[in-house]
Amino acid sequence: MSSLIDASTKIRVSSTLNRDTKSYGKQYLTDGSVETCWNSEQGSPQSISLEFGSPVSVSFLNLMFQGGFAGKECELMGVSVNEEWESIMEFYPDDTNALQQFPMPSEKKPQSWKKMRIVFKNSTDFYGRVVIYTLDLVGTLQP
């Protein structure tokens, strides 16, 4: 298993704080630095969408939030061969700065996904902002 996010992965975010993509843009989700982050604008829900270069099988979702700006009620969604969005799992992160790992439900692990979306239905921040330092999906590429 390895990281499924590479140069061919297209990432879109629902918003960026003050539209300041140089300071808080989506590129910082996967740059490997704990000094940089994606920071959403205020308001709920917020989301991160990923489109893979080839189908993937996901084992784990890894996220590192800034404490006080974590997703509270979250949902991972995906598009498989049927070309329709479906719910994969709901998850509830801790309001902490630590790297958190969310395992895929066993019945969803063998599936191949073309796209995924992480929806932050609400946030621990009063204004609904989400701050993420690390985003990774771990699993295997499918043929």
C-alpha torsion sign, points 3, 39, 28, 132: negative
Phi-psi region of 102 (alpha: psi -120 to 50; beta: other; left: phi over 0): beta
- Give the single-character DSSP code of 36: -
pLDDT for 83: 86
Mean pLDDT, contiguous 10-residue spans, the chain (143 residues): 94 97 97 96 98 95 98 96 90 98 89 96 97 97 83
At 28 the three-state DSSP class reads helix
Predicted TM-score of the model (pTM): 0.95
CA distance 43 to 129: 6
Task: Identify the residue whose tokens are 């843009």.
Answer: 25
- Give the single-character DSSP code of 104: P
pLDDT for 107: 86
pLDDT for 136: 98
pLDDT for 143: 75
pLDDT for 120: 98
pLDDT for 29: 98
**CB neighbours of 131 closer than 8 A, spacing ≥ 6?**
37, 38, 39, 40, 65, 66, 69
